[in-house]
Structure 1
Amino acid sequence: MSQAFAITASRIFDGHKFHEDAALLVDNGRVKAVLARADLPAGISRQDMGYALIAPGFIDLQVNGGGGVLFNNDPTVTGIRTICKAHARYGTTALMVTLITDAPEIKREAIAAGEAAARAGEPGYLGLHLEGPHLSIARKGTHDPALIRPMTQADLDYLVEQASRFGIPMITVAPESVTPDQVRRLVEAGYRVSLGHTDTNCAGVEPYVAAGATLVTHLFNAMSPLGNREPGLVGAALTSPALHCGLIADGFHVDPVTIKIALAAKTGPAHIFLVTDAMSTIGTDQTGFDLNGRAVYRRDGRLTLSDGTLAGADIDMLSCVRYVHETLGQPLEEALRMASLYPAEAIGAPTKGSLVTGQDADFVVLGPDLDIHSTWIAGTCVFTEGAEPSRAIA
C-alpha cells in the first residue's frame, strides 16, 4: 500500500467544476478527495505546484503511433510502451493504441501485443482500437483499399474469442462491410463499436445503433456528409443521443466553423470528444514514415500521402485542447472535458476522466499558458518538464 500524499495548486478542475487554492489527496493510486488547501490533514506529505492548474489526465481513443513508432509497423509491447510514453509528455494518461487496416497476420501480432501490455499493466495503455479492415472503399481515406474487405464469420469468431484479452476492445466498422447481427455479437462480446469510413445514408445508421454501436470515428472525415436532403452519417451522429463522436481538432481535418456548428448541435447525453489520430511523428523530428508500403510526408503540421490525402494527424492532445479553447473559444472546462470526461464516458472507463473520490489518480499539471508541467498516472509522475509554474492562470 502506498502512502497518502497531497498535490496542491492554485486551481484544480475535477472534471465537473473548479476548486480554488485546493489540494488533490491521493491514496494508493486513487483520488481520495479534492479539498481546500486549509483542510489538509496535519502531517500529510504534500507537493505544492504553485500557480498551476491540475486537471484530469487526457484520454485518447485513437492513437496510431508516437515517439517514432507506428503501431502497424511495430505491433509489439515495446511499440505500445513507446507510444504511451510519447503521449504522456503531452498530458495523455490513457490511450487506445490503434491499428490501421492491415494484413491478418499484423492484426494477430497487434492483439498478442495488446494482451501482453494489458497483462503487464503498461502505464497509459487502455486497450486496442482496431480501425478496419471492415470499411468502405468509397470512404477509405488513407486505408489501403487492397486490404479492405467485408467481415466474414471467421473474422467475427476470432474477434469474439480475443475480446477479453487485450484491455478495452474497440473497433471501427462501416455498415457496407458488416451486418447489424455482427455488430450485435461484437457488442455482446464487449467491443465498443464505432461507425466510420462509410458512405452509408442517415437511415442506414439506425440498425447499427439499435445493434449497439455507440461511437463515430473522426467526425466529418471519411464519412457521408451532412447534406440538405441526405443527412448522412454526420447528421445521424449529431442528432443521435447514443453516438459519442471523436473529433480531430488540428485545424486541417475539420474547418473551425464546422466544429463550432457541430458543438452547438450535439447536446448530449453523448458528446463530441477529442482524438488525435496521431502517427509516429509525435515527440520526434521525423519528416515522414511508411504505412502499408506507402510513403507518408510530414509538412507544415500535416501528414499526407503523395496524392495529398491526409494520413492521420501530427498533433498531441494538449494541442487539441488549446485549439478548442484558444481558437474555437470554448470554455476551458469544456475543452478539458472533451479530452478527459467525454472520452472516458464514450469508451466505458468508469474510473477515469475525472478527479472525484475513488477515481484513478490520473492527472496533468498545466502551467499559466496551458503548457505542460507534469503528467501523473495512478498517482505516479511519469513525465515532468522540471520547472514549476510561477504565475497565475487567468
Structure 2
Amino acid sequence: MGKTLIAGARLFDGERFQDGKALVIAEGKVEALVPEAEIAVRSDVRWLEGGILAPGFIDVQVNGGGGRLLNNDPSIGTFATIAEAHRQYGTTALMPTLITASREVTHAALAEAARACRTLDGILGLHLEGPHLAPAKRGAHLAELMRPMEDSDVDALCRAAQSVPVLHVTVAAEQVTADQVERLAKAGIIVSLGHTNATCEAAQALFAAGARGVTHLFNAMSGLSHRAPGLVGAALENGDVWCGIIADGHHADPVALRVALRAKRGPGRMFYVTDAMALVGSEADSFTLNERTVQRETGMVCSRLVLEDGTLAGSDLDMATAIRFGVEALDLPVEESLKMASAYPALYLGIAGERGFLKPGLCADFVHLGDDLSVQEVFVAGRPLTPRPAV
C-alpha cells in the first residue's frame, strides 16, 4: 500500500493547530506531519480547499443509530449499523451503550460486543448504563429492572473485560459498594457514576475506590446546592474525574454548562457524549424503547426525543452538532471543542496511544470540517468514505 498525502486545510493534531502542515498516511496510520512546502511539487498530494483536518470523533455513550437500538437487538448487525450511522457525522470510534436491561439481554450484548470489537471498524467496546442504577433517578430507564450489584455481577463483568477491550459501566452509589467498584477498576473496567442521588461524600468515596467518570453531568443525578454539593459538586471538585455532557440544548441549559466548564478542576475534563438513540441517521420520527414509544420533536439545535409523559429519552444529537454547539453556545474556542470530541474521550477511555490525536503511529481516522464546522468528509484508516457527507 502506498502513501497518502493530504494538504490544504488547517491541521488540528488533537492538542493544537499546526498551520501549513500536511498529513502523511501509510498503512492506515499517521506516518508524519510535514510542512506543505516540502510536498508542494508532488503530483500525488490531495489538496483540500481550506477547512480543518481533525482527529475522528470518539463517542463514549451511543444507544443507537440508523434506525436501530442496541437494547432492542443486541446483535453484531446492530453494532455495525450504529457505527455506520454515526460515521457520517465524523464519529470514527464509539462505545455502543446498553441501558438498563434484563440479565439475558445484558449477557447477549457482552458476548456480541466481544465479536464486534474483533470484526468491525470503530467499535471500541461496550458501555453498560445499568442495571445497577437508582430508581429515584431512572429517567427513561425501567425502574423494575434496576437492582443492587451482587458479587456474581462483579465476577461476570471481570470475565467479560478479558474479551471486551474497553468495558465501561455506569452505576449508582445506592446500588454498589466501594469494594465492588475497587474490584471492577482493578480489572480494567471504567466505572462511572450516574442515575443516582449520591451525596457528595458518597460520590467521593467511590471516586477514591476507583470510579473515574460521571455519566451525562447534571442529568439524572443529585445537583449542586450550597449545603449539599451532590454528585455534580463532587465531580467538578475532583481533578481525577471526567464528565460526559450532552450538548444538545435540551439536557442542560447552556448557562449551567458554561459554569461547569469554568469550575471543573483538572486534569480530568468534560467531554461530549451524544447519548444518541435510534433516530440519528434515520428519517423515522419515532421508535420503541421497552415497549414505549419515543417521539422526535423539533428543536433549535437538534430534535428532542421524549416519551409520552415528556420525559427525555436519550438524544437525537450527533457529535458534529455538539462541537458546533460548544463553540456557538458555550463560548468554547474551536480547539477546545474539538478536544472534547476526540482527545478527552480518548484519554478517559485509555486509548490515547491509538486514537484521538493525529500523531505518528496513531490510527489515521480523521475528519475534514468546513470553516463552519460542518462535516465535509470522513476518513477511516486514511481512506475517505463514499459518498462524502455534508452534515
* TM value normalised by structure 2: 0.96
Identical residues among aligned pairs (%): 48
**Residue 371 of structure 1: which of 374, 378, 385 is its match?**
374
Q: 1:349 to 1:44 in 2, by over 3 A?
A: farther
Which residue of structure 1 lines up, in the alignment, with residue 206 of structure 2? 208
Which residue of structure 2 lines up, in the alignment, with residue 48 of structure 1? 47
Which residue of structure 1 lines up, in the alignment, with residue 173 of structure 2? 175
Question: Which residue identity does 2:372 align to in structure 1?
Answer: D
Deviation at 1:45, TM superposition (A): 3.3
User: Is 1:59 aligned with 2:58?
Assistant: yes
Deviation at 1:178, TM superposition (A): 0.7
**Residue 332 of structure 1: which of 313, 331, 334 is its match?**
334
Unpaired segments of 5 or more residues in structure 2?
none
Query: CA deviation digits over 1:290-338, x for unaligned, max 9?
Result: 1111111111111111111100001100000000012222110010001
Q: Is the 8 A contact 1:375 1:384 kept in 2?
A: no
Q: Is the 8 A contact 1:84 1:95 kept in 2?
A: yes
Root-mean-square deviation (CA), in Å? 1.5
Which residue of structure 2 lines up, in the alignment, with residue 223 of structure 1? 221
Q: Is the 8 A contact 2:238 2:265 kept in 1?
A: no
Q: 1:386 to 1:254 in 2, by over 3 A?
A: closer
Distance, in Å, in 1 between the alignment partners of 2:40 and 2:176 is 56
Which residue of structure 2 lines up, in the alignment, with residue 392 of structure 1? none
Q: Is the 8 A contact 1:170 1:192 kept in 2?
A: yes
Q: 1:298 to 1:47 in 2, by over 3 A?
A: same
**Residue 322 of structure 2: which of 309, 317, 320 is its match?**
320
Distance, in Å, in 1 between the alignment partners of 2:262 and 2:103 is 40
Question: Which residue identity does 1:345 align to in structure 2?
Answer: L
Distance, in Å, in 2 between the alignment partners of 1:57 and 1:174 is 31
Question: Which residue identity does 1:381 align to in structure 2?
Answer: P
4+ residue runs over 6 A deviation: none
Which residue of structure 2 lines up, in the alignment, with residue 111 of structure 1? 110
Q: Is the 8 A contact 1:366 1:373 kept in 2?
A: yes
Q: Is the 8 A contact 2:378 2:388 kept in 1?
A: no
Question: Which residue identity does 2:282 align to in structure 1?
Answer: T
Residue 106 of structure 1: SS of its match in structure 2?
Answer: helix
Deviation at 1:161, TM superposition (A): 1.1
Structure 1 residues 281-300: aligned runs within 5 Å: 281-300=279-298
Question: Which residue identity does 2:50 align to in structure 1?
Answer: Y
Deviation at 1:9, TM superposition (A): 2.1
Distance, in Å, in 1 between the alignment partners of 2:85 and 2:154 is 33
Q: Is the 8 A contact 1:220 1:254 kept in 2?
A: yes
Q: 1:271 to 1:383 in 2, by over 3 A?
A: farther
Unpaired segments of 5 or more residues in structure 1?
388-394
**Residue 163 of structure 2: which of 152, 162, 165 is its match?**
165
Structure 1 range deviating more: 174-183 or 372-381? 372-381
Question: Which residue identity does 1:284 align to in structure 2?
Answer: S
Structure 1 residues 105-144: aligned runs within 5 Å: 105-120=104-119, 122-144=120-142
Distance, in Å, in 1 between the alignment partners of 2:214 and 2:368 is 30
Distance, in Å, in 2 between the alignment partners of 1:116 and 1:202 is 38
Deviation at 1:43, TM superposition (A): 5.3
Q: How many residues align?
A: 386
Structure 1 residues 228-239: aligned runs within 5 Å: 228-239=226-237
* TM value normalised by structure 1: 0.95
Residue 296 of structure 1: SS of its match in structure 2?
Answer: strand
Q: Is the 8 A contact 1:61 1:95 kept in 2?
A: yes
